[in-house]
Each structure stands twice: as structure tokens, then as C-alpha cells.
Amino acid sequence: MLGVLALQGAFARHVEVLHGCGVDAIEVRTPEQLDSVDALVIPGGESSTMSKLIDSNGLRGALSERLAAAMPAFGTCAGMILLADEVLDGRADQASFGVIDIAVRRNGYGRQIDSFESDLLIDGIDGGEAVDDFRAVFIRAPIVERVGNGVEVLASVDGTPVVCRSGTTLVSSFHPELTNDDRLHRLFLDHVAG
């Protein structure tokens, strides 16, 4: 069973995409719901708000334990920020889970007006082949400023990593759920099943 953290952000669309991939997926808001899933999608939204809601819903400890025990996780946009090892410009009360060795800058591409779309070359989707026709939607997206050892960069925009993978964790700085292309979700599901 897959879960989608459903505290804030684009969680409903992720659930729809996962259902379209033929996967049972539930919205996760409580530690009990988290206990019932084998992997978790952390959606885009507002990372500092999401961090506060994780705390107020009593999820911080359980989520930290599950992620530290290598529960597969897919973080998109704000989810990338929450899974990063280092948030360069986070709020003082904002805590990330440090499960992928990257440093990110929130809203690194700019404000809402600076949002954009780009066709990406992503390694590993479509049966392992690199494709360059993945349309990515960047909305107040984070920028990856450092990639640590053991982190694979699967896609970049102008030399800046936008899809990274390490162990059981996959992150993207854009919103793959906002298009009709489910290949990045399927890459995560293949990784979970493998």
C-alpha cells in the first residue's frame, strides 16, 4: 500500500496518478495511517507550512523513524525540501528529514510569476532509456545547490539537478502530478517494487 502525505499541497492529484498506475494509495494524515503504508509520496505545497502540520498532526517522530529505516519516499517540490539533508534558506522552525544528501534553496527559481515549464531528459524512465520529452512544471521550485556522494542526478535544467535519487528516495523540484505523464511516478513504483 502506498501513502500520500495529505496535510497540504497537491496530494489529491498524486493519489489520482497512483490509482491510474493501478496502485492502492491512501491519504496519510495520522501516525496510524502512516503505519499502514509501505512507501510515501510527499507532495508539493509550502514546505514550512507542511513542516508545521507534520508536527501538529503528531507525525514527526513516526515519519522520522520510517524514513530512517529506508521507507521508500518520493518528494516533489516541497517534498524535495522536506527530504533534503540541508535547506539553505529554511525558516528557523522548519526541520527537514535529511534522507537524501542534497542541499536545496527554497523558491530558488523565483516567485510565483517566475514559474515555468521545461521538457526534460530523464534517465531511467521508459524501460531504463533516457527520454527528453518529459514536460515538467516548476512552480516556486527549489534549486539543488549541492549533491552528495551516492546521489544520482537523473535530470537537470541548465546544469542544475531537478530529479535526484539515492537509495529508496526519489525527489523532483517540479510537479509531475500536474501533467498527464505518469512515468516519473512509475519510476518510483518500479524502485519500490525492486
Q: Please name the residues in contact with 55: beta carbons below 8 A apart, sequence gap of 6 or more.
A: none
Tell me which of 19, 27, 32, 77 is the catalytic residue: 77
Strand partners, 172: 76, 163
Tell me which of 14, 164, 177, 185 is the catalytic residue: 177
Q: Is 154 within 8 Å of 164 (Cβ atoms)? A: yes
**Identity at 128, one-letter amino acid code:** G
User: Rounded distance, CA 49 to CA 47, Å?
Assistant: 5
Q: Where are the alpha helices (DSSP H) in the chain?
A: 11-20, 31-35, 47-56, 60-68, 78-83, 183-193
Q: At what angle do helices 183-193 and 11-20 cross, to 10 degrees?
A: 70
User: Rounded distance, CA 105 to CA 88, Å?
Assistant: 5
Q: What are phi and psi of 34, to 5 degrees?
A: -60, -40
Taking the C-alpha atoms of 117, 115, 4 and 130 in order, what is their torsion angle to the nearest 10 degrees? 30
Residue 177 catalytic? yes
Tell me which of 14, 164, 175, 185 is the catalytic residue: 175
**What are the catalytic residues?**
77, 175, 177
